Structure 1
Amino acid sequence: MTSAADAAGATPPLRRVRPATMFAYGFGAAAYGVKDFCFSTFLLLFYNQVLGLPSAEVGFAIMCALLFDAFIDPAIGFLSDRTRTRWGRRHPWMYAAAVPIALGWLLLWNPPAWSHGAMLVWVFATAVLVRTAVSAYEVPSQALSAELSADYDERTRIMAYRYLFGWTGGMAMLMASYGRFLADGLLDRQGYVGFAIAGAAAMFTAILVSSLGTHREIERLPRPEIVRGTLSENFRELGETVRNRAFVTLMGAGLCFYSAQGINYALSNYLYAHVWHFAGADFQWLALSLLLGVVVAFVAAPRIAHRIGKPAAAMAFMASAAVLVGLPYALRLIGLFPLPGTPWMLPLLLGIYGLNAACGVASTILGASMMADVVEHSEIQTGRRSEGVFFAGAFFIQKCTSGLGIFAAGAILAIVGFPEAAKPGTVPAATLDRLTILFALLYLVLGLGAAALYWRFPFGKDEHLARVERLRAAV
């Protein structure tokens, strides 16, 4: 058993995290799951199809909010690394984020009845509020993953729990949305009121449960010394940190994958309703199939990575996801996929979606686990532990690409000539064909790009453990 005094140094212990802590830590990711799935799946649809704003303009307004993230996420990561309180480096930020996240979420989905231009400003402003509040929680919370344990395989388990709860939170919110709040239709304006309240309550609860549940670990977390410097010196240190080769490789992979995922989420309701003619319980079965895929990823990712290493496993999972997501659309275009309404269409489609979710989530679990390992890789080079900076970069990529995905989806809809407020069954077949071809090809290219970058990650387990031992010996 590692004592609190041992763990209070600059390097985390090589240990197994106790189950209660693992559960609490993972549970907090449900907040981001709710935000990310609903933001990506419903936001463009809500402002475009429900409120009637042009899709390209809504996408542009949301993308503009990303400009603030270019400064907010790295700043929070940098400041979190340098925070010193009796509650440690991360927890003050985590506790402080709960109320702003809930408030921003309520405002985002309940806009006033303003003019066209003012509504676009509202989308921009509330998106900035939500994104900033989410960063204040998620960046320090993700940084904890590298501090709870320095063990190579244990970090994959930690991330597996995080992604399991993140996806479970998102899927639970989707099931509640389709089955209760939006049961009368995705264009039901009143349904989004309850939708917003439920999402705000879920995120607030998840953050507090996770913060309180991991609070007792504060005395065990690393407390490296801080060398105070001038503003220019701090910026120079930040530049040295983010030039790390392993970090840049993971940033490239994340940019490719999360861009593909953002496009997928933003177009999903258009594809479900107009290509596959989903209705009623179909959405519930969809959420269940995706959740089962996440459970498969939770079990498979740590085991396969233990056998063949994280980079090879992440590459294999990502390449499989890239192929699977476009498979039903390719088969549909050549006449080999069952038509909507036939008995085998839904089970086959959901089976492919479930496998895609398993592969995509497994790859991101391993990518996040490798990001935790980058901390010691950088520490050897710079002499500084920069968990907050690295996970701020990773989180910035996720948020950027959700906005880029919405922007790209809006542009795709405009390019193919998709009509505003279209009813299922009224969109021309040629328009749907153009939509599916553009979507599938773009996802494939981005997914294979991410797979290639995962393969080029520069180190594995042996190098990591040798690095940790060297750091511990130097204390």
Structure 2
Amino acid sequence: MSAVSEKLPFKSKIAYGFGSVAYGIKDNGFATFLLFYYNQVVGLRADLVSLAIALALIADAFIDPAVGQLSDRTRTRIGRRHPWLYGSIIPIAVIWIILWHPPELGEWGTFGYVFIVAMGVRMAFSAYEVPALALLPELSSDYHDRTAIMRYRFLFGWGGGIFVMFLAYSIFLSPTAEYADGQLNPEGYSKYAIFGACVMVIAALSSAIGTHKRIVGGYQSASEHPKSAESFSEMLEAFRYRPFLLLMFAGVFAFTNQWLIFALSIYLFTHVWEFTQANFTAYSVMLLVAAITAFMIVTPISQRLGKARAAALLAFLTLVIGTLPYWTRIAGLFPEPGDPVMIPLLFGFLITSTATGISAMILTLSMIADVSDQYEHDTGKRTEGLFSSGMFFMQKVVNGFGILLSGLIIAAVGLPQGAASGTVDPDIVDNLALFYVVLASIIATIGAWAYTLFPLGEKDHEIRMAARAIKEK
């Protein structure tokens, strides 16, 4: 079955993108709250929390190739991907709620609980997101339309995660008589989890239904089913494909940097910039502004520069703009907490750097579709599920590494548990900022350079489409 040639209709883009709300809530929860919750609220050491999460992500990452291959080989009346989309929805919601309701256990019991349940969350999402990403090359074969489609996926993913994060800061984790610092209130995380699970079910089910007709209709009308990687050796052959490896190399650094930033953000904002509750709430709104900005700029930049060059430029801008407040703070040039200029200025840097970072990641996932097409052109095999699983495999391994780095930084600088804003030794706060900015700069620099190595561009796509048109006549 070939990909649909015409551009995807607007309503189908909305439906496809809306499904990522569930993934956005999960990713935002893992990146922003999970380390903080189990460390500061439950009371598990930061290095043990980060180790448990990292091990869970890495262990789960090995499930993704199996899901990808199985979805490639699935043959049902409703296609290859949709049985997975429908079947994973309820497990996602249930295991998400369990994650945020740990029983009272000892230190190592809690460590084991985090490891097992976090791995369960990621496995449930693998069963949804790997097939969902594999739909992209089947939804449209237009080179730039794929970027346009993927930007809806990111817009809804970020928007959904940010929306629930906004509710967490403004409602679920707001201060109470018992908890002056609402972020230390365990009941707030319970409400956050239950609400998030309900939204996940609505988003995932709506997206599966919304893309059902277009994908399933084409699948049922095909004269023959596409060939895929049937054996383990064929799977390895696909994963050794050079364009795929080069894209994964760039993605390793881009996604490691993203997770390092998000896992440390609540610590940095609390202790380096001394955010108030109102600042945290405003920050969630600023992230939404950044996601909308990325949605608007990514396609024009990609059309002008090509996907790989655009991703390299955007990754470099993310590094420069995102770290500048910390470098200038270290040099004594950035406004101090309490200065009325500090928050607006800091938010300006955060919006811009986050928008460029999101744009680079949109292009990365769009390029996966190009890798799938080129591999089909070279070998005759359709392995979108495998390549999608490889992307998620990479993300989970490096995301786990990013969280592990964050936990090690917190432990290395000696940040005390349960510390309120403005109460920590200034030397510890300075070391926290320095550790972060040095690591982020190294990782992001390598990532920006790595994107320049990706070999496929629009001309390659035109050659593939011409060859496919001749074959289908």
- Flag whether TM exceeds 0.5 (same fold): yes
- Report the counterpart of residue 6 of structure 1 in structure 2: none
Contact 2:136 2:146 in 1 (8 A): yes
Structure 1, unmatched stretches of 5+, are: 1-8
In the aligned structure 2, how far is the partner of 1:255 from the partner of 1:419? Answer: 31
Please give the per-residue CA displacement for 1:388-433, whole angstroms capped at 9, x wherever unaligned.
Answer: 1111111122222222222111111111121222122121111111
Q: Percent identity?
A: 43
1:288 lines up with 2:279 in the alignment: no
Aligned with residue 86 of structure 2, among 95, 101, 116: 95
- Report the counterpart of residue 145 of structure 1 in structure 2: 136
In the aligned structure 2, how far is the partner of 1:472 from the partner of 1:127? Answer: 45
- Report the counterpart of residue 76 of structure 1 in structure 2: 67
1:436 lines up with 2:430 in the alignment: no
- Report the counterpart of residue 322 of structure 1 in structure 2: 319
Q: How does 1:304-453 map to 2 (within 5 A)?
A: 304-453=301-450
Letter in 2 for 1:338: P
Please give the per-residue CA displacement for 1:309-353, whole angstroms capped at 9, x wherever unaligned.
Answer: 111111110000011221111111111111111111000000100
Aligned with residue 236 of structure 2, among 239, 248, 266: 239
Structure 2, unmatched stretches of 5+, are: 176-181
Change (3 A) 1:338 1:465: same
- Report the counterpart of residue 37 of structure 1 in structure 2: 28
- Report the counterpart of residue 57 of structure 2 in structure 1: 66
Q: TM-score, normalised by structure 1?
A: 0.95
- Report the counterpart of residue 473 of structure 1 in structure 2: 470
Letter in 2 for 1:446: I
In the aligned structure 2, how far is the partner of 1:121 from the partner of 1:336? Answer: 45
Please, which moves more after superposition, 218-227 or 290-299? 218-227
Contact 2:39 2:49 in 1 (8 A): yes
In the aligned structure 2, how far is the partner of 1:207 from the partner of 1:144? Answer: 14
Contact 2:19 2:204 in 1 (8 A): yes
In the aligned structure 2, how far is the partner of 1:42 from the partner of 1:399? Answer: 17
Contact 2:18 2:206 in 1 (8 A): yes
Q: TM-score, normalised by structure 2?
A: 0.95
Contact 1:376 1:468 in 2 (8 A): no
- Report the counterpart of residue 180 of structure 1 in structure 2: 171
1:191 lines up with 2:188 in the alignment: yes
In the aligned structure 1, how far is the partner of 2:216 from the partner of 2:105? Answer: 50
Contact 2:139 2:215 in 1 (8 A): no
Q: How does 1:99-178 map to 2 (within 5 A)?
A: 99-178=90-169
- Report the counterpart of residue 3 of structure 1 in structure 2: none
1:12 aligns to what SS in structure 2?
A: coil
In the aligned structure 2, how far is the partner of 1:316 from the partner of 1:67? Answer: 29
Q: CA deviation at 1:225?
A: 3.0
Contact 2:57 2:399 in 1 (8 A): no
Change (3 A) 1:189 1:161: same
- Report the counterpart of residue 27 of structure 1 in structure 2: 18
Alpha-carbon RMSD across the aligned residues, in angstroms, is: 1.4
Change (3 A) 1:23 1:69: same
Please, which moves more after superposition, 444-453 or 359-368? 444-453
- Report the counterpart of residue 179 of structure 2 in structure 1: none
Q: CA deviation at 1:471?
A: 2.4
Aligned with residue 209 of structure 2, among 190, 212, 230: 212
Letter in 1 for 2:102: P
In the aligned structure 1, how far is the partner of 2:249 from the partner of 2:217? Answer: 33
Contact 2:21 2:161 in 1 (8 A): yes
Q: How does 1:241-280 map to 2 (within 5 A)?
A: 241-280=238-277
1:47 lines up with 2:44 in the alignment: no
- Report the counterpart of residue 225 of structure 2 in structure 1: 225
Count of residues in Structure 1 that have an aligned counterpart in Structure 2: 463
Q: CA deviation at 1:454?
A: 1.1
Q: CA deviation at 1:199?
A: 1.1
1:17 aligns to what SS in structure 2?
A: coil
Q: CA deviation at 1:227?
A: 5.6
